[in-house]
Amino acid sequence: MLATSGFSTGAGKDMLADVFEQIGYQQENPGLRNSFLAGAYELRSGIPASEAASSSSPDVIRAMSTELFLNFLGIRMNSTKAEGMRFTINLITPDNGEKFLVEMENATLTNIQGFLAPKPDLTLTIKRSDLEKTMMGAKSREAQFADGTAKAAGDVGVLKQLASMMVDSDPRFPIMSGTRLR
């Protein structure tokens, strides 16, 4: 339709960006508003090629609660790789008194604060401050087991299974088809 109207691809993108911008300005819902405005920006400028913010920087990790970190793992998980896997982990952080039941079932990783499974596949006991080192990638879980900062009872292979399902995603994905990194 744009070709028959005499518009070039650039002019068509600019017109669509104008439409998205106006729709975005009229939205009361912030999610819809931001989606339309981000689409308009992307059509005009492309996807910014700058460095993406790190979700595992020391400041971000320290600011996350243990529950939020476990939820973050569930988001980073590739559910296709998790199909058919089933395990339970009791996570205990004695320095702050937290206990979590972490369960993998139906390709979904869930956690419940304040509960422990009666017969888990693994019970992991580690101080929250030492867990942060693993979360940041500053110290491996193997090194923590070796020096005694982390203690495990049960199948430690469950942690390898969990790690094998994690994926890093680039937040600079295209909202509009045909847009590219600048």
Q: To the nearest 10°, the Cα dihedral for 139, 144, 146, 148?
A: 150
List, for residues 134-146, the tens digit of each pLDDT value: 888 889 889 999 9
- Report yes or no: 77 and 83 within 8 Å, Cβ to Cβ: no
**What is the layout of strands, in order, in the sheet containing 98-105?**
108-113, 98-105, 87-93, 122-126, 150-154
Q: What is the pLDDT of residue 20?
A: 95
Q: Which of 137, 81, 144, 68 is closest to 108 using CA atoms?
A: 81
Q: What is the pLDDT of residue 182?
A: 61
Q: What is the pLDDT of residue 109?
A: 96
Average pLDDT in the 74-101 region? 95
Give CA–CA dist 169/78, Å, rounded: 10
Asked if residue 32 has pLDDT above 50, the reply is yes
Q: Which fold is adopted by the domain 58-164?
A: Nonspecific Lipid-transfer Protein; Chain A (3.30.1050)
Q: What is the pLDDT of residue 23?
A: 96
Pairing verdict, β 87-93 and 98-105: antiparallel
Other beta carbons less than 10 A from residue 88's beta carbon: 19
Amino acid letter, residue 4: T
